[in-house]
Structure 1
Amino acid sequence: MATAARRGPYFCGIDAAMDVVAGKWKSLILWELHHHGTRRFAELRRGLPGVSEKMMIQHLREMEEDGLVHREVYREVPPKVEYSLTEHGVSLNAALASLGEWGSERMRRIGAEKIVADSDTTARR
């Protein structure tokens, strides 16, 4: 289960929620796991162009501590590790959906849509 908060005390629910999703890649990791299911580390990185290995590792560890992501280690050679969303992660992703819709509308309004060859990537931004 989740460990104690990395900071606090919290002043409101938004404050507590932002503590969990703070960082450029966390919400995108949630999206990737929600839309593609269980993923290995390299699969997650391929789905998130631009994220460094160090940042991916850091965010996944924090998300695991916060109870959003489950890390399954298979004892085999070569070692295999898979990441999936917990129920808590699924519920946070659902809460972020309306924020994503708001962001998509903002992108359209200000003409800031990023043209990406992969239509699946475009759909999430």
Structure 2
Amino acid sequence: MAKEEVTLQAGVLQQCPNEGKSMRDDVVWDQKRTDLDALPCLAPKIIGMIGGKWKLFFLQVLIFQGTKRFGELRKSNDGNTQTMLTNQLRALVADGLMTRKFYAEVPPKVEYSASANGLALEPVFTSMHVWWENRVNEN
């Protein structure tokens, strides 16, 4: 791609460099760039963090209902196994979207909360809710 100066507008759909996938350049708010190939494709990173069968569900529970114990999260959705739940929660903690607090008690107690990064996703969940309501009302 030519090294010409281009002003990117927020919300303009672009191609991800070298991947042929679309991305929104909302993260680049009217900044001047000299090389569009330098733009990262964030979609795979975002999907890696919040993708998965139950990650969004557990994030939504913790964001809107607050801190929950492991057993409460397991009971909140009957479609998951203990192993799956453990793996999903570990991934969310590792990605910094959730915090885990262990209490050395008998029996052991573990609590999960949305981290500051996780809580920052609240507007995304609200937008998805509004989108769904608009979609249902159209039909």
TM-score (norm: length of structure 1): 0.70
Q: Give the SS at the match of 2:111.
A: strand
Deviation at 1:64, TM superposition (A): 0.4
Structure 1, gaps ≥5 residues long: 1-9, 111-125
Distance 1:40 1:28 in 2: 15
Q: CA RMSD in A?
A: 2.1
Structure 2, gaps ≥5 residues long: 1-38
Q: Greater relative contact order (Cα 8 A, min sep 6): structure 1 or 2?
A: 1
Other-structure match for 1:123: none
| Larger gyration radius, structure 1 or structure 2 | 2
Distance 1:106 1:55 in 2: 31
Deviations 1:20-48 (A, max 9, x none): 11112111101111122110011011112
Other-structure match for 1:54: 83
User: Which one has a larger percent strand, Structure 1 or Structure 2?
Assistant: 2
Percent identity over paired residues: 37
Other-structure match for 2:26: none
Other-structure match for 2:129: 100
Distance 1:105 1:51 in 2: 30
Other-structure match for 1:35: 64
Other-structure match for 2:95: 66
Number of residue pairs matched by the alignment: 101
Deviation at 1:104, TM superposition (A): 4.2
User: Which one has a larger percent helix, Structure 1 or Structure 2?
Assistant: 1
